[in-house]
Amino acid sequence: METIYSRLQSHTILIVEDDESTLKWLKRVLSIYFKEVYTASDALEALDKFNINKTDIVLADIQMPQVDGLTFLKKVASLSPETMRITMTAFNTVPYLNRAVDSGVHFYLKKPIDIDELLFAISSHMPDSTLIEEKIDLGREFEYDSLKKMLYLESKLVKLTKKELLLLELFLKNRHGFISLEVIEQNIWEEQATPDAIRMIIVGLRKKLYNELFENLKGLGYRINLP
């Protein structure tokens, strides 16, 4: 379990469950393993919390009042494609399983939840792109400290704005692929942003680091080119 703990301890999770006792139990247990554990008793409350704190992982029950868990997880996918989406259900019928597949969840678990199974599944499904080592060599004497959330050039601090810092971390978490302007907007801005506003943040980050670190490919978006 030490390996699993080391993989999960820097990540955040949102649990959506309308059964109060189950919700409290999951929060109590998962708080041991995760950096932050957020909870919600229905999909609407969960969406409000997710818009404030876009967690790395979302665990949602299917059967909930007002909006069901799979509909909610579809919305999560549109807001934050890199967030791991897990559903839990007391049902194991073909229609439910088909809906889970159609909703694009990473995996589903049968209730009652086995905590060891849940932790192992999350750890196994966690792509390397979400794991950021403590200190990252960005090339040309630049180094990013992911624990302190600070950028250094030859050991001297380089000051970043809040949005520049969030953008740099987003690039590092998705270092193996391109990130669209839409994904950048959804993860960095609390309100709607224009493409020009997003590009200005990218330009600012390029100036504080160096231009070749970020690649732009029309139709795909941007990606970081680590040495």
Is the same domain home to 114 and 195? no
Residues in contact with 1: Cβ distance below 8 Å, sequence separation at least 6, in sequence order? 119
Is the same domain home to 64 and 10? yes
How do residues 199-212 score in pLDDT, each as one tens digit?
A: 999 999 999 999 99
Residue whose tokens read 């400290």: 145
Is the same domain home to 139 and 78? no
Is the same domain home to 75 and 123? yes
**How high is the pLDDT of residue 52?**
92
Is the same domain home to 82 and 179? no
153-to-3, 139, 171, 178, 206 alpha-carbon distances in Å: 32, 10, 18, 25, 14
What domain range includes position 71? 2-130
Is the same domain home to 124 and 171? no
Is the same domain home to 197 and 118? no
Residues of the chain with pLDDT under 50: 129-131
Query: DSSP of 138-156, one letter per residue?
Result: EETTEEEETTTTEEEETTE
Is the same domain home to 33 and 86? yes
Residue (of 173, 176, 200, 205) closest to 187 by Cα position: 173
**How high is the pLDDT of residue 93?**
62
Is the same domain home to 99 and 184? no
* CA–CA distance, 9 with 38 (Å, rounded to integer): 14
Is the same domain home to 17 and 106? yes
Whole-prediction pTM: 0.57
**How high is the pLDDT of residue 130?**
44
Boundary-marking domain end, from 100, 130, 160: 130
Boundary-marking domain end, from 107, 130, 153: 130
**How high is the pLDDT of residue 23?**
96
Cβ count within 10 A of residue 62: 22
Find the CATH number of the domain harbouring 21: 3.40.50.2300
Number of structural domains found in the chain: 2
Average pLDDT score over the chain: 86
**How high is the pLDDT of residue 97?**
63
Q: What is the DSSP letter of 212?
A: G
Q: Give long-range contacts, CB 8 A cutoff, 24+ apart: 74-78.
A: 74/103, 74/104, 75/47, 76/50, 77/103, 77/104
How do residues 62-86 score in pLDDT, each as one tens digit?
A: 888 888 888 999 899 888 888 999 9
Is the same domain home to 51 and 126? yes
Backbone angles phi, psi at 223, to 5 degrees: -150, 160
**How high is the pLDDT of residue 117?**
86
Boundary-marking domain end, from 130, 149, 168: 130
Is the same domain home to 79 and 153? no
Find the CATH number of the domain harbouring 162: 1.10.10.10
